[in-house]
Homo-oligomer: A and B are copies of this chain.
Amino acid sequence: MAQTVVQISGHIIDSLILPKVLDLIISLGAQFEILDIQIGHRRSDRSHARIKVEASSPDLLDVVLAKIREHGALPEQVEEESLQLEAALLDGVFPERFYATTNLETWVRLEQQWIPVESIEMDCGIRIDASARKAQCVPMHRVKKGDLVVVGQRGVKVVPLERQQPGAPFEFMASPVSTEQPKGLLIREIAESMQRVRRDNGRILVVAGPGLVHTGASKYLAELIENGYVQVLFAGNGLAVHDMESDLYGTSLGVYVDQKIRAAEGHEHHLWTINRIRKAGGIRQAVEQGLIRKGIFYSCVKNDVEFVLAGSIRDDGPLPDVITDTLQAQDIMREKARGVSFALMIATTLHAIATGNLLPASVKTVCVDINPAVVTKLTDRGTFQALGLVTDVEPFLRELCSDLDLNVVCSS
């Protein structure tokens, strides 16, 4: 067990610096103990904390210390640290493991004194002119052979940004929804959450939009249902019609989904599907009469998974199962949402927001859509616990099924 003590001071609480440092320690796999803390009583007062960091190995400790340094948490013995310098061997090439700058105010400890790094800018190195007692931020292509460059973290400190006015837009910026993440990690975490919920006999709610069928992803949702990963399904007329159109005619909005051949454009299949289900009396009846023989709603009926189809003014038909009164639909959704501990919202805005309105904040909520605006809307409307994942629905569900070890036969 390696350990060291760091200190941190400034407006570390309302500038979120202390929470961020504690968060980093834990998320890198180390532990902390707050040895000592003095909190400023008023806005103008500064706070100060001493924190013991413990890690399972000296290497991990080094990683943690390096990271939290970027937020101003410095080892107590920082005043005794000396800067490590190394000469550049070639023009335009830094020494190995050179210190890579951030865009925050930075100081280096040269001969027992802290001197500021001039012209700070992110992603550069620090060049030291020892005789002039100067430190300068220098881009890689400007370093010259023989220049002394800072290596490692010792003897370097950064001053984290503090917020001047709470609530001011300049100061409190959140990192928004990004499309450039390795999504596999998130999908695996979602799969694990779903497994955990089911192990504890918890209920999973899926809320899904019709895009799921157009993009050929319905077989994955059916598989989730068949394997007990869905206890209740909220959707609208569209999802159900497209799903059953796909079974009856092989198309979704007139496009042959599975054979990947484009049919003529046209809404007949769509409307004829609605008409046939109306004639049968409803979805359950259509399954029981053998009219519908596979798909999302077939699986729901066969596995006694509850579904609620809520009406909207853009519905065609609608199916007899659709609850056209929106207040009544809300009430039924409310009731069916009881006891849900995980909600997965896929490719739907209206139903996602409506469901988000009904769920307690303690329900883990994941919202998947190719359009970042949907996730934004959900959190804007108060469902702040929602995790957004901006990706295509079909590959998302495919990977989720695979992470859950479900075999989806793709022939269909």
Contact = CB atoms under 8 A, between A and B. Distances in A.
Contacts of A265: 67
A395 B172 CA distance: 25
Contacts of A360: 103-105, 120-121
Given A28-B264, A385-B173, A182 B216 contact: yes
A218 to B, nearest CB: 11
Given A41-B34, A90-B279, A311-B327, A178 B385 contact: no
Copies of this protein chain in the complex: 4
Contact of A14 (B23, B255, B380, B384): B23
Interface residues of A, number: 152
Interface string A369-392: 011110110011111111110111
A161 B361 contact: yes
Given A173-B387, A185-B260, A330 B139 contact: yes
Interface string A334-377: 10001000000000011101100111111010000011110110
A407 interface: no
27 contacts: A14-B22, A22-B166, A39-B49, A63-B264, A93-B275, A93-B279, A96-B275, A97-B272, A100-B266, A100-B272, A103-B383, A105-B360, A121-B358, A139-B334, A140-B278, A161-B361, A169-B387, A176-B177, A176-B372, A178-B376, A180-B211, A181-B255, A183-B216, A313-B329, A313-B330, A324-B325, A395-B395
